[in-house]
Amino acid sequence: MGSSTKYIFITGGVTSSLGKGIIAASLAKLLQARGFSVTIQKFDPYLNIDPGTLNPYEHGECYVTEDGAETDLDLGHYERFLDTPTSQANNVTTGRIYNNVITKERKGEFLGKTVQVIPHITDEIKRNFFKLGEDGQFDVVITEIGGCVGDIESLPFIEAVRQAKWDLGQNNFLVIHLTLIPFLAAAKELKTKPTQHSVKQLLEAGIQPDILVCRTEYHLPQEVKKKLALFCNVQLNCVIEAMDASTIYDVPLLMKKEKLDERVMSKLKLTSKTNTDLEQWKDFLGRLKNPTQEVNIGLVGKYVSLPDAYKSIIEAFIHAGAASECKVNLTLISSEELHADSIPKKLEGLDGVVVAPGFGERGLEGKIEAVRFVRENNIPFFGICLGMQVAVIEFARNVLGLEKANSTEMDPESPDPVIGLMEDQKNIELLGGTMRLGSFPCELKKGSKAYQAYGKAKINERHRHRYEFNNAYLNKFEESGMFASGINPDTELVEIMEIKNHPWFVGAQFHPEYKSTVLTPHPLFVRFIKATIENKKTK
């Protein structure tokens, strides 16, 4: 452990999905704005090694880091708020912990001892708690413990937090407990009992929370705060109100008003290096809340009943919209409901269309029809990952006349596999090992829409996909007006496809949304929004 590094643990009680990730990211932002270097990590109590194999309906989107880790979507919030990249070490699951311990046991590293939850599992958890603080590059490491206090799954994590307190010593350790204060409409009052029970469970596990952050729909009156402080052994000024906000990007300022950062600093004996610098953040919020124009964008995908499946894309539009002082009204459209005859009605009134990433053939034909409609009607189009592949298939079928063109993912027997597996992937059996994951370089062609967006020729973008554009067809495409504007210099793989005579038609094989943050919105999203604004004016 870096002796100077301070550790903050964030637990949750009463119910899940209270927004521990947003509170963690907001606190980190406030500390960062005071000149401290901060990182956040998420410990998830499920047994999957990573969320890469989880259905988006289960867990929302799978977020990919620069180093190719498939992680929880909360890491997206961390990066969007802090504007600094996370890595494999920032997301650890129970599955990974047990996997590490069992691997050591098989190698004989425990010298014949009986391997148990305490100390072996808890030691491995603590090793991962402290890993990011070891090289001294962070003043503060914030650890979010997923799930709810009292869940069977999170017991070993809670126990490891209890032990960490003694390992770290006074003033280096802090627990923030996030809880819910429900409002009972019939009784017209806020209820503290669930929080009391939740804190009691923490106390039974040997952990005294230092700060309570209370999610609530109504302001907490002073007497409610006093009651919470008394029953939960917490100082009155450490009972923090977290009201529902109109945008998650308000939360850092709300937490500042509640003095969350000051309470944390006094308990950890941190002295601030600078005054809080949140000017750029406030500037972003000002543009976000006072748009001068608006556009309607359709997001076509198959997981639309759970918007969290497209979390990063939705947030990237918020960042890009604010950059142009433009309100982006995003409509999620299920690709399974799109057919040639229903499309004009479903897509009418849209200023631009995005076709989202995804796997498998469900909803594919609907996506292809949607792309045809926007291509033929000069509506700005942005395809991401599978969205780019769909645009390629559509162009092959309807412009090049290759009626059975397809991706080998959907039709292994297609006579024209315009999208397929690279040779070196074909013999891999396990699903986990065949993906192109993480950051790869790409070179852009001058004069292309992509080059105009980035303003430079060399970029790096993050990937999460298995199938690639089939270069055997590239000449045919380019002769007919669809060209490769971005190519990986090392492998010659196509990264971006564009159509020349169109207001904005760009498909990217990578996931630009992963790199969009509040302070550096992603150039492709920014240009796409600008194109929709300009195109709307010419209608």
Active-site residue list? 385, 511, 513
Give the residue numbers of the binding site for UTP. 16, 191-196, 227
What would the two tokens of residue 46 be?
Answer: 């499920």
Binding-site sequence positions for Mg(2+): 74, 144
d(CA 170, CA 266): 12
**How many angstroms separate the CA atoms of 142 and 266, rounded?**
16
Distance, in Å, from the CA atom of 449 to the CA atom of 188, rounded to the nearest integer, reads 56
Q: What is the CA radius of gyration of the chain?
A: 25
45 HSE (CA, 13 A, CB side)? 21
Annotated binding site for CTP: 16, 151-153, 191-196, 227
Please provide the DSSP assignment of 230-252 as one string: HHHT--GGGEEEEE--SSGGGHH
Q: What is the DSSP string of 42-75?
A: EEE-SSSSSGGGS-HHHHSPPEE-TT--EE-THH
At 283, the amino acid letter reads: D
- Edge-to-edge, what's the strand order for the sheet holding 468-469? 406-407, 417-420, 468-469
Tally Cβ neighbours within 10 Å of residue 425: 15
Task: Write the secondary structure of 16-39 as one string of H (helix), E (strand) and C (coil).
Answer: CCCCHHHHHHHHHHHHHHCCCCEE
For residue 454, give both structure tokens. Answer: 């980035």
For residues 408 and 422, give the distance between their C-alpha atoms in angstroms, rounded to a whole number: 11
**Phi, psi of 92, rounded to the nearest 5 degrees:** -125, 135
User: Token pair for residue 217?
Assistant: 């729909």
Angle formed by the axes of helices 311-323 and 523-538, to 10°?
A: 60
What distances in angstroms separate CA 213 from CA 178, 207, 439, 513, one per listed residue?
5, 16, 36, 30
Cβ atoms of 51 and 300 closer than 8 Å: no
- Contact in structure between 265 and 243 (CB atoms under 8 Å): no
Nearest to 139 by CA among 31, 216, 25: 31
In 3D space, the residue among 4, 6, 22 whose CA is nearest the CA of residue 265 turns out to be: 6
| Chain centroid offset of residue 244 CA | 20
CA angle at 211 for the pair 209 and 213, rounded to the nearest 5°: 115
Give the torsion sign (CA, 105, 107, 113, 119).
Answer: negative
CB-count burial class (<10 Å; 0-12, 13-18, 19+) for 456: exposed
- Pick out the residues of the known binding site for L-glutamine: 57, 358, 386-389, 409, 466
Tokens of 258: 């509640």
Known binding-site residue numbers for ATP: 17-22, 74, 245
Angle at 445 between CA 390 and CA 440, to 5 degrees: 65
